[in-house]
């Protein structure tokens, strides 16, 4: 596994990371034993970066990762954890809290659930509209000084917030959606990250399964984010799956899969971009890892981008109610 530096201030991590969210209910039910086997298979294959959020299954995801790490060398793994989303016992989303007091509280519980003494990259999942980013980053910086956190990251924030955060403490990476059908980051956010030496940990590289080549219309069941996501809705999903078929023709001509082409395209955007794949089964993970062998030259990239032109996706990447709270989507 190729290793890369996560920005100019961050740790060395595997060039592909494993996102564990789907193992804790966000995409409907998942199999606990298979989830743990998938984490083990990822570590055995050389993946060192595991991404989680304390709100994924209200602590479930961290406890799952903690269990998977038992008997493993914790220091060879980089744990990336998001915090700030506030939920109730039924799982309802109540908003965000990234105040300094909340930072310390969330972190204390995260360390216990994961069974570790420090977090490699700790990040607010969204900008808290009531708390200046300087206060949130300052509070995490105190936790860095105290030894509980090694590096500070960001998630789904825009260029102005990135600059303000980086003025308080070095930022290792911005976690943000980036795929063939979600390229908004290219216009302003990615250039600012590059200027400041901040890496991008890209999520949704398969657009949550939509451009994996395996998605079947109407496959999302209750409790699955995709049941509410605009791109998966009737009228949009057919148009998006037509893009996937165009991609499939390119993949088949090369003897690889659609998912491998989609992941390889993100990886080809630069050494400072680390795709987080959301596999929750070992077969999906093996397919995703196969993307490492797919080298794309300029002709390949242009063929892929002709099959799936920038902006071709039908539907927004989040429901409107969530988009309005995303700093990364705020009109300039």
Ligand X SMILES: NC(=O)c1ccc[n+]([C@@H]2O[C@H](COP(=O)([O-])OP(=O)(O)OC[C@H]3O[C@@H](n4cnc5c(N)ncnc54)[C@H](OP(=O)(O)O)[C@@H]3O)[C@@H](O)[C@H]2O)c1
Q: Shortest distance, CB of residue 113 to ligand X, whole angstroms?
A: 16
Task: Among 151, 208, 231, 317, indicate the residue that binds ligand X (CB under 6 A).
Answer: 208
Residue 248 within binding range of ligand X, rule CB under 6 A: no
What is the three-class DSSP state of 230? helix
- Is position 317 an interface residue for ligand X (rule: CB under 6 A)? no
- Listed in sequence order, the residues at least 6 apart from 191 whose beta carbon sits closer than 8 Å to its beta carbon are none
* Cβ proximity of 267 and 273 under 8 Å: yes
| 56 is known as an active-site residue | yes
According to CB under 6 A, which residues from 33 to 72 bind ligand X?
Answer: 51
Look up residue 179 and give its DSSP letter. B
Residue count at the site for ligand X (CB under 6 A)?
A: 29
The Cα 306–Cα 247 span in angstroms is 9
Quickly count helices (H) and strands (E) in the chain.
Answer: 11, 12
User: Judged by CB under 6 A, which stretch of 14-22, 187-195, 266-274, 295-303 contacts ligand X?
Assistant: 14-22
Cβ at position 16, least distance to ligand X in Å: 10
Least distance (Å) from ligand X to the CB of residue 219? 8
Out of 205, 261, 266, 294, the residue judged to bind ligand X by CB under 6 A? 205
| Of residues 12, 10, 11, 32, the one with CA closest to residue 20 | 32
Stretch that binds ligand X, among 109-117, 133-141, 282-290, 295-303 (CB under 6 A): 282-290
Which of 153, 200, 151, 196 lies closest to 4 in space, CA to CA? 200
Site for ligand X in 84-123 (CB under 6 A): none
Closest by Cα among 179, 81, 104, 95 to 129: 95
- Which residue's CB is nearer to ligand X, number 136 or number 207? 207
Q: Which of 171, 209, 237, 307 is close enough to bind ligand X by CB under 6 A?
A: 209
Asked if 231 touches ligand X (CB under 6 A), the answer is no
Q: Does 24 bind ligand X (CB under 6 A)?
A: no
Phi, psi of 182 (to 5 degrees): -135, 85
Which of 49, 274, 288, 303 binds ligand X (CB under 6 A)? It is 288
Q: From CA 27, how far away is CA 215, in angstroms rounded?
A: 13
Specify the 3-state DSSP secondary structure of 186: helix
CA distance 48 to 42: 8
Q: Counting contacts by CB under 6 A, is residue 193 touching ligand X? A: no
H helix runs in 70-205, sequence order: 100-114, 133-145, 159-168, 189-196
Q: Report the residue from 151, 183, 231, 280 that binds ligand X according to the rule CB under 6 A.
A: 280
Query: What amino acid positions are annotated as catalytic residues?
Result: 56
Residues that bind ligand X (CB under 6 A): 19-22, 27, 51, 82, 125, 155-156, 175, 203-209, 212, 214, 259, 276-280, 284, 287-288
């Amino acid at each position: 596994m190729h290793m890369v530096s996560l920005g100019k201030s961050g740790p060395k991590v595997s060039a592909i990371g494993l996102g564990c969210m789907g193992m804790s209910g966000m995409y409907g039910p998942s199999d606990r034993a298979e989830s743990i086997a998938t984490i083990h298979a990822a570590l055995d294959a050389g993946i060192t970066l595991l991404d989680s959020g304390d709100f994924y299954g209200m602590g479930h995801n961290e406890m799952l990762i903690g269990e998977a790490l038992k008997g493993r060398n914790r220091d060879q793994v980089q744990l990336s954890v998001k915090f700030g989303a506030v939920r109730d016992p039924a799982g309802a989303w109540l908003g965000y809290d990234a105040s300094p007091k909340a930072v310390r509280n969330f972190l204390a519980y995260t360390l216990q659930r994961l069974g570790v003494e420090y977090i490699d990259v700790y990040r607010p999942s969204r900008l808290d509209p009531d708390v200046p980013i300087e206060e949130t980053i300052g509070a995490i910086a105190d936790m860095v000084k105290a030894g509980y956190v090694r590096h500070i990251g960001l998630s789904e924030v825009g260029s102005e917030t990135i600059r303000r955060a980086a003025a308080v403490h070095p930022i290792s990476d911005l976690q943000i959606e980036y795929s063939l059908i979600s390229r908004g980051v290219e216009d302003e956010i990615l250039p600012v990250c590059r200027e400041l030496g901040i890496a991008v940990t890209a999520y949704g590289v398969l657009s949550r399964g939509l451009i994996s080549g395996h998605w079947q219309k109407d496959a999302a069941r209750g409790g699955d984010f995709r049941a509410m996501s605009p791109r998966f809705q009737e009228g949009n999903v057919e148009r998006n799956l037509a893009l996937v078929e165009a991609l499939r023709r390119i993949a088949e001509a090369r003897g690889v899969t659609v998912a491998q082409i989609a992941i390889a395209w993100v990886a080809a955007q630069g050494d400072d971009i680390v795709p987080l794949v959301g596999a929750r089964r070992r077969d999906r993970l093996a397919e995703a890892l196969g993307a490492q062998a797919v080298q794309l030259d300029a002709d390949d990239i242009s063929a892929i981008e002709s099959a799936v032109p920038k902006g071709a996706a039908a539907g927004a990447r989040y429901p409107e109610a969530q988009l309005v709270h995303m700093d990364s989507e705020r009109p300039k």
